Amino acid sequence: MKKILTLLFLVLGIATFAQTPIYLNSNAPVEDRVEDALQRMTLAEKVAIIHAQSKFSSPGVPRLGIPENWMSDGPHGIRAEVLWDEWYGANWTNDSCIAFPALTALAATWNPELAELYGKSIGEEARYRNKNVLLGPGVNIYRTPLNGRNFEYMGEDPFLASAMVVPYVRGVQSNNVAACVKHFALNNQEKYRDHINVTVSERALHEIYLPAFKAAVQQGKAWAIMGSYNRYKQQHCCHNQYLLNDILKNEWNFDGVVISDWGGVHDTKEAISNGLDMEFGTWTSGLNFGQSNVYDSYFLAQPYLNLLKNKETNEDILNDKVRRVLRLIFRTNMSPDLNYGSFGSPEHAAAGRKIAEEGIVLLQNNNGLLPVDIEKTKKILVVGENAIKAMTVGGGSSSLKAKYEISPLSGIRFRAGNKAEVKYVAGYESPATKEQDVKDAKEPPQKKIDVIALRNEAVAAAKDADIVLFIGGLNKNTGQDCEGDDRNSLELPYEQDALIADLIEANPKTVIIIISGNAVAMPWVKQAPAIIEAWYNGTEAGNALASVLFGDVNPSGKLPFTFPVRLQDNGAHALGDYPGDGENETYKDDIFVGYRWLDKENIQPLFPFGHGLSYTTFHYGKATADKNKMTADEHITVSVSVKNTGTIAGAEVVQLYINDKKSALPRPVKELKGFQKIFLQAGEERLIKFTIDKNALSYYDDSKSAWIAEHGEFEAWIGSSSADIKAKINFELY
């Protein structure tokens, strides 16, 4: 009897499986599932699946059991839940996330392994919250230090951004959550972002502004790309023929989904033809801001359906969009490998702290003032509003509802324990701002800030301290590091420069700690004995900072962008094209962005790209190569020994730059083409090897629409920053 029942169940199982639609068979190839589901969908269902149904979701196909898509703002944490048709918070009690460091901090680690850890951790948080698309990471190039959104990106160099975005994407998608890499493309300022038309050479586009996106697509296999608000070739980038169809889908063979930025769609016919796949956030009839629950009026909704029914557009184009959305769903919410994820966990907090600690950059440390010797330091004065100000909130769409946030002051006090007295005075204040994402939030009453009284109090306290820790910089208020607008100047706000100068005069043992996502001017740099760039470091920010200040962690961060002495030392500002005339902007700096511009003009930076000090020292040996000539089909291996010559363990980022001796087109003096972060014990020495192939030697010739590696002489430069080259070696491409 048992054998009969077993046979019966087996037969019934086979019969049931045979009747199961292919799209529901999680073991079937994704493309087979896509085609099976597509042929079962009605025209109305196809149109419905390519546009939003709420602020952050799009419909599935309920009749077929195909689930919805749910998006979450990133890239630093999973955004709190909002109301179905509002931007305001839904006031859930279980949506407090771990806030990870800003992407500038991640880039400053120069550690691809940490980028993968970051992506994996935030992907787990997204999966737990049933978000199958993370709206991040951002890889727009740092062109001007005034861009209010630079803190969300990975710096000024396309090679560094490419190397860091690929493992981030892979980490996120290991959780069956799509990484939506943004903002494609040329969204390099917030001022006029919704309509400015960018004119840029094909060469600069391919060499500077596209490589990180290309790497995310071709190496990271990103499942989604977000279009940008601005225009290029007079077309909005969310429906741009050249960017989305010609380059992304045809040249790069992107098989994922192109998602609009919220409010980035402007025309039905362009959206149909020019590469957009999913429409979100349109205001909302396309004409009126804030109109409610009119998702059927979206450009890719009823207007599109009407064109299809009237045979005014080709259903094949629609089918391509639907295939991409179905592919997204089968890769994420209908994947056979789904796990539950995890949320707000100690493991994620620890990952965030690790990233923060490795990203903090020691810019200056004269006379060995740092690390703080807690055994000899009994009176610590902490000055500055940023020591206590919450930095996980504000800044626009990246604002988070964090489970907790350790302030710098709390981290310092916890680390000092009962070994030292830690006193705090504000020193300066920023104007209060209304709470974001809260319905009917009102501007708080503005009290008059007595700048002089605050400064005098801090200076008086500084005279009695063993060490002063000034914690200032920028914040996420409008006009600082914040989406929607750019900074007004390179200088520190709220009269911090005058305060810093007075503090240093009152107590020469003053450490300046800048919290920001952007470079700032430092008119007091020659007087300041120690300077740290501490970024926006999320949930564990205060603990991470304290661990570096007190020497529990040896700093190893390196700048992912240049700190200029003055704004005019930046190419976009020196040439006067930023921010454009309100309608158009020409990138006159062309390929000479960041350190490339300073090298070209022989300008000394305040702090160079790739710069970062340690509490130990490193010695670089002589560079060697396995040969001095190569063909385009070969490669050269360049080696250099690096030794930790100090007394404590530490990490160094060894950087490879390429110099082209002579070329048909102008080239930068040097370009980053490799880096390795190495951890060395005191006295340990290691041989570092870099492989150089024709890709590292090539430039984009826009007259030929091709990458060219010219025959001739090159030089490999190896150093600890773009301005601190330790070794050079010549070789030839023949």
Regarding whether 624 and 540 lie in a shared domain, the answer is: no
**Tally: H helices and E strands in the chain:** 19, 27
Residue 196 within any structural domain of the chain: no
Q: Rounded mean pLDDT of 679-704?
A: 98
Give the structural domain span for 686.
Answer: 618-733
Identify whether residues 420 and 555 lie together within a single domain: yes
Instruction: Report the alpha-carbon distance of residue 163 to residue 256 in Å, rounded.
Output: 21
* Contact in structure between 619 and 722 (CB atoms under 8 Å): no
Position 27, amino acid: N
On the question of pLDDT at 177 being above 70, the answer is yes
Write down the pLDDT at residue 286. Answer: 46
One domain, residues 504 and 625: no
Distance in angstroms (rounded) separating the CA atoms of residues 670 and 663: 13
**Cα–Cα distance between 118 and 179 in angstroms, integer?**
12
Q: From the CA atom positions of the chain, what is the Rg in Å?
A: 27
Q: What's the first-to-final CA gap in the chain, in angstroms?
A: 80
Q: Which long-range contacts (CB under 8 A, 24 or more apart) does 27-34 make?
A: 27/336, 30/327, 30/330, 30/331, 31/327, 33/326, 33/330, 33/334, 34/323, 34/326, 34/327, 34/330
Q: What is the tens place of the pLDDT at every residue in 641-667?
A: 999 999 999 999 999 999 999 999 999
Mean model confidence pLDDT for the chain: 95
CA gap 718, 657 in Å, rounded:
6
Do residue 533 and residue 388 come from a single domain? Answer: yes
Average pLDDT on 89-103 reads 97
Mean pLDDT value of segment 271-284: 92
Q: What torsion do the CA atoms of 660, 664, 669, 674 make, to the nearest 10 degrees?
A: -50
What's the distance, CA 538 to chain centroid? 14
Determine, yes or no, domain membership for 486: yes
Query: Is 511 contained in some domain?
Result: yes
- What one-character-per-residue DSSP string does 539-568 give? GGHHHHHHHHHTTSS------SS-B-SSGG
Res 291: pLDDT: 66
Q: Give the whole-angstrom CA distance, residue 428 versus residue 406.
A: 20
Q: What is the pLDDT of residues 197-207, one digit of tens each?
A: 999 999 999 99
Which of 528, 561, 594 finishes a domain? 561
Tell me the per-residue pLDDT of 540-566, one tens digit each, with 9 for 90 and over: 999 999 999 999 999 999 999 999 999
| CA distances to 17, 124, 517, 595, 641 from 557, in Å | 55, 26, 14, 18, 20
Same domain, 689 and 624: yes
pLDDT per residue as tens digits for the range 510-541: 999 999 999 999 999 999 999 999 999 999 99
707 falls within a domain = yes
Contact 483, 193 (CB under 8 A): no
Q: Given this model, what pLDDT does residue 440 score?
A: 74
For the question of residue 450 being annotated catalytic, the response is no
285 pLDDT above the threshold of 60: no
Distance CA 515, CA 532 (A): 9
| Domains identified in the chain, total number | 2
pLDDT tens digits for range 474-508:
999 999 999 999 999 999 999 999 999 999 999 99
Co-location of 384 and 463 in the same domain: yes
Q: Are residues 543 and 642 in the same domain?
A: no
| Residue 716: strand, helix, or coil | strand
What pLDDT does residue 229 have? 98
List alpha helices for 400-440, DSSP H. Answer: 408-416
The per-residue pLDDT for 4 is 53
Per-residue pLDDT, 284: 54
* Average pLDDT score over residue span 122-141: 98
- C-beta of residue 695 within 8 angstroms of C-beta of residue 719: no
191 lies in some domain: no
Question: Mean per-residue pLDDT for 629-636?
Answer: 97
- Tell me whether residue 161 is in a domain: no
Written as one string, the DSSP assignment of 292-304 is: -S-GGGSTTSHHH
CA 612 to centroid of chain Cα atoms? 20
Residue 10 is predicted with a pLDDT of 42
Give the Cα separation of 83 and 723 in Å (integer): 50
d(CA 96, CA 99): 9
Pairing of strands 584-586, 57-58: unpaired
Residue 503 lies in a domain: yes
What percent of the chain has a predicted confidence (pLDDT) above 90? 93
Residue 365 and residue 504 in one domain: yes
pLDDT of 18 above 60: no
Report the distance separating Cα 605 and Cα 611, nearest Å. 11
pLDDT at 16 over 70: no
Q: Is 62 exposed, middle or buried (0-12, 13-18, 19+ CB in 10 A)?
A: exposed
**Percentage of the chain exceeding pLDDT 70:** 96
Assess whether 633 and 552 both reside in one domain.
no
Q: Which of 73, 95, 157, 261 is catalytic?
A: 261
Residue 109, pLDDT > 60, answer yes
Higher pLDDT among residues 7 and 139, named by residue: 139
CATH code (residue 638): 2.60.40.10
Half-sphere exposure of 581 (CA within 13 A, CB side): 4
Separation between Cα atoms, residue 82 and residue 394, nearest integer Å: 15
The reported pLDDT for the residue numbered 436 is 75
Same domain, 651 and 511: no
Helix boundaries (H) for 463-564? 496-506, 541-549
Please check whether residues 705 and 630 belong to one and the same domain.
Answer: yes
Structural domain ending residue among the three candidates 541, 561, 581: 561
Q: Are 513 and 365 in contact (CB under 8 A)?
A: no
Nearest by Cα to 435 from 390, 396, 474, 394: 394
Residue 508, domain member (yes or no): yes
Rounded to two decimals, the pTM is 0.96
Using the predicted structure, report yes or no on whether residue 15 has a pLDDT greater than 60: no
- Please name which of 195, 209, 208, 151 lies closest in space to residue 487, comparing C-alpha atoms: 151
Tell me how far apart the alpha carbons of residues 517 and 145 are, in angstroms, rounded to a whole number: 9
Structural domain ending residue among the three candidates 529, 561, 593: 561
Whether residue 14 is predicted with pLDDT greater than 80 in this model: the reply is: no
**Residue whose entry in the numeric block shows the structure tokens 């916890």:** 414
Q: Output the six-digit token pair for 194.
A: 């919704």
Residues 660 and 551 in one domain: no
What are the DSSP calls for 574-604, one per residue? HTT-TT-SSSEEE-TTTT--THHHHHHHTPP
DSSP code string of 12-52:
HHHHHHHHS-GGG-TTS-HHHHHHHHHHH--HHHHHHTTB-
CATH of the domain at 387: 3.40.50.1700
Question: What backbone torsions phi and psi does residue 180 show, to the nearest 5 degrees?
Answer: -105, 95
pLDDT band at residue 288 under the 50/70/90 scheme: low
427's tokens: 């020193």
pLDDT score, position 17: 43
E strand or H helix that includes residue 118 = helix 112-128
| Phi, psi angles (nearest 5°) of residue 537 | -105, 15
